[in-house]
Amino acid sequence: MKAAVVIRYGSPDVVKVREAPKPAPAEGEILVRVHASTVSRTDCGELRAHPFFTRFFYGIRRPRRAIFGLDFAGEVEAAGSGIISFSPGDRVFGMCPTRSNGAHAEYVSVPERAVALMPAGMRFDEAVVCEGAFYANAVLKRIGVKPGQEILVYGGSGAIGTAMVQLAKASGAAVTAVVATRHLALVKSLGADRAIDYTAGDFTRIGKTFDSVVDAVGKTSFFRCRKLLKPDGVFAATDLGPWGQNIVLAMWSAITRNHRVVLPAPGRIGGFVGFLKGRMEAGQFRAIIDRQYPLAEIADAYRYVESGQKVGIVVINVAAAGEGERPA
């Protein structure tokens, strides 16, 4: 099979499309013929392995896995023993575990718990949305978002940010999204009650406080945003933040038990894909697709994601053109 293979850390130039062994499904796994995947900030972080201590998770000298890519959508090719929920030909989507080879390949073998049937009538490129929503959902669960709460999302236009706005609204929260001028209409269309243009002035001086402030892109800080928090408000981050300060602040917050800063761990995939499918079928969640690249041009997709300009997701079309069309 063809796959985007990474054998050492480095720039997008080290990502090479070449032949790789086709995986076989183990017990409790499903072999999926991949039609679409994504390149995300997580993939770029794994490629660069920066900061250095992340290599304790990814591999000290070289990546532990040779094929990246967390999101996938495709068709079931075969099922391992013990699988009763899926059959060959089923259209499925899901999220690959980070410890095994991913979906930047023509085939991927994944645990049954990480897979769900695609909503009826959906294209493959519209279904590769799990990763951003997975991290967003982890934050919302950690801060205990409830109906009527007020939440500010800084960076509401990326994969995590667009997911955060939609999932928070589906939970009944009042959402304020902070984005660049060109994304104001987008976040409003996703349900944001208020959209603030950070290029037009200091967003921290809007004269309002929130139950939670979430940094969805790792480009602001607790110290800058604390004036936006109510007395018992929480600052949550999805990234280490400038100079890795969020992990230190989260540890100190846990030690002192003031719970003002949290850096949620994403948790387990099991059950999440089915939850997200329900949100999609209810019309409460949809993909925001920025660009699409064929597998042969995946290095260019990495370069674009590294530019920091993407909106929503960047899709990799693994299958041949036309195979991801919406089913009748």
Chain segment 210-233, per-residue pLDDT in tens: 999 999 998 899 999 999 999 999
Chain segment 90-124, per-residue pLDDT in tens: 999 999 998 899 999 999 999 999 999 999 999 99
Given a cut of 60, whether residue 261 has pLDDT beyond it is yes
Looking at residue 245, what is its pLDDT? 84
Window from 57-61, 115-119, 154-158, 282-286 with minimum mean pLDDT: 57-61
Distance CA 13, CA 6 (A): 10
Given a cut of 80, whether residue 244 has pLDDT beyond it is no
Looking at residue 327, what is its pLDDT? 60
Mean pLDDT of 278-295: 97
Contact call for residues 285 and 279 (beta carbons, < 8 A)? yes
Chain segment 77-93, per-residue pLDDT in tens: 999 999 989 999 999 99
Q: Position 192: which residue type?
A: A
Looking at residue 175, what is its pLDDT? 98
pLDDT interval class at 52 (50, 70, 90) = confident
All structural domains of the chain with their residue ranges: 2-129+287-317, 131-262
| DSSP states along 120-148 | TT--GGGS--HHHHHHHHHHHHHHT--TT
Q: pLDDT: is 243 or 218 the higher one?
A: 218
% the chain with pLDDT above 90? 80
Given a cut of 70, whether residue 325 has pLDDT beyond it is no
Contact call for residues 107 and 77 (beta carbons, < 8 A)? yes
Q: Would you state the structure tokens that stand for residue 302, as one six-digit string? A: 């990495």
Looking at residue 98, what is its pLDDT? 86
Report CA-CA distances (Å) from 177 to 98, 193, 245. 30, 8, 23
Chain segment 19-45, per-residue pLDDT in tens: 999 999 999 999 999 999 999 999 999
% the chain with pLDDT above 70? 97
Looking at residue 267, what is its pLDDT? 78
Q: Considering the domain delimited by 2-129+287-317, tell me its CATH architecture.
A: Alpha-Beta Complex (3.90)
Phi, psi of 63 (to 5 degrees): -60, 140
Looking at residue 310, what is its pLDDT? 95
Distance CA 154, CA 179 (A): 7
Given a cut of 90, whether residue 168 has pLDDT beyond it is yes
Overall CATH class of domain 131-262? alpha beta
Given a cut of 60, whether residue 177 has pLDDT beyond it is yes
Mean pLDDT of 199-220: 94
